[in-house]
């Protein structure tokens, strides 16, 4: 999974660079298409894969504000002030 994410990141970066190269050489429609496709790949493939990879095997409950977690935070803050 890590290598797929790296490959997609490099491909998107190269695609955006190629798009700007085409735009600077005067071929604006092709440059716009390259940039647009790269941004779509980044937003609909790269970002969800990255988020899934980073949140895999994590407990979502640890990051939620439940009564138990609020109590832990209050206890930690009160101990820190003493």
Q: How does pLDDT run across 13-68, given as a tens digit for each residue?
A: 999 999 999 999 999 999 999 999 999 999 999 999 999 998 888 887 777 888 88
CA neighbor of 23 nearest in space, from 14, 35, 39: 35
Residue 8 CB contacts under 8 Å (≥ 6 apart), including other chains: 41, 42, 45, 46, 49
Q: Which residue has the tokens 């490959």?
A: 7
Domain residue limits at 70: 2-81
Residue 33 CB contacts under 8 Å (≥ 6 apart), including other chains: 19
Q: What is the pLDDT of residue 3?
A: 95
pTM: 0.72
Q: What is the pLDDT of residue 82?
A: 62
Alpha helices for 25-56 (secondary structure H): 28-41, 47-55
The Cα 31–Cα 51 span in angstroms is: 29
Per the structure, how many domains does the chain have?
Answer: 1
């Amino acid at each position: 999974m890590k290598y797929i994410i790296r490959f997609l990141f490099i491909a998107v970066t190269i695609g955006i660079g190629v798009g700007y190269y085409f735009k600077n050489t005067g071929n604006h429609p092709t440059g716009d298409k390259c940039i647009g496709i790269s941004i779509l790949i980044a937003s609909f493939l790269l970002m969800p894969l990255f988020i899934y990879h980073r949140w895999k095997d994590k407990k979502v409950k640890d990051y939620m504000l439940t009564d138990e977690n609020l109590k832990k935070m209050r206890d930690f803050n009160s101990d820190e002030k003493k």
